[in-house]
Structure 1
Amino acid sequence: MKKQLLSLTLVLGAIGAFAQTTAADLFTSAPQSVFPLLDRTTRLDMVDYYRNGMTNPSANQLDGRSSITEMTPESITVKMTDSSAMQLVDLKGTKGDIIAVISTVATPGLDSNIKFFDANWNPIPTESYFTKPGWKEWLTDSGRKNEADVTMQVPFMLASYRIDPATSTLTLTNNLSRFLDKEIYDDISSYLNPTLTYTWTGKEFKAK
């Protein structure tokens, strides 16, 4: 009887492991509205190419080329066009999986936004899991003392986002140096943090 129970446990465990949803599964099952440049058939082909070590890009809806640049069980990153990319990450939440989708464009400084969905691809308000930082978070101690100088020269922030699939840590990188004149950026660089880091708690991304 014990052997039968052990065998049943092993079988159920194997089935559970086999059925576990991966980032590739989510990428290929996502609604067209999430990846408007890539239909489902193209996404399936892209996953097969990557798994087989093939680097050939796939045609997208803009007659451009798209390709997967990184893939793990939890995350997939896609170069959508020459000036844009997307990262999909499967986050483990306290009430079920949460899908995070980061879109990044070159303006020419890289700039990102993040959206969230439940496991059935229903949109979730971004503020439920992440609050976009303002100048208060980006400014260093000396920057807060000179906030007027910074905001006068920099009307908006440019930051790229990336989630580390191994730790579920979200890092925002300051990209103003790629956008502002070197002289202007050199004047204010000491007033700005180069990166901001957020830890996934299962309920939200919390600033470190």
Structure 2
Amino acid sequence: MNLIYAILSDRRFLWLLLLINTGGTIYGYIWYEQQISETQAHFIPFVPDSPTASLFFCFVLLAFLLHKNWGLIEALALITLFKYGIWAVVMNFLTLAVTGDLPWQGYMLIASHGAMALQGILYADFYKMKLWHVIVAAIWTLHNDVIDYVFMQYPKYADLEIYVKEIGYFTFWLSVISIGLAAFLMKRNQVRNQSMY
């Protein structure tokens, strides 16, 4: 375990992760380019879900490199990385199940979004989130679900349009699980830190 912590906290590894996540974030915004261009301005912050999640994590990594902790950004990153990482993996496997085919980009999205969810959790031991950070991040996340599935700004998967109600329901409960995970990890870190003194 100490070896894992040493690798995760190594500045060279942090820089590498920052580079990878910056590239993935840029690619993600490009992937959403058409949908963003067709979206009303006040909805735009809530449309590119996955790249915004990885953007939050870029700021987390930048804070670590500056020897700082930005608790609110950590909470936003953890919840959204896990949520949208798992969400994209499920949506791509669902596309494969519905159509019987998945282009190479779909497999790339499965790998990259699975890594998103994993990295959010791997760095959780380093987070210094407070309850209000998790509450604000939870409000952002649930509000995003309302924008996506009430105002119909959800990520467009053409082959899955007929399942949009079911996907919205799944997404809501995935948000709840992600928020619960963040609250659990926050409490675990607080208890662990208190026991060290």
Interval containing the TM-score (normalised by the shorter chain): under 0.3
Q: Could you say which structure has the higher helix fraction?
A: 2
RCO comparison, higher one (Cα < 8 Å, 6+): 2
Highest Rg: 1 or 2? 1
State TM-score, norm by structure 1.
Answer: 0.25
Instruction: Calculate the TM-score normalised by the size of structure 2.
Output: 0.26
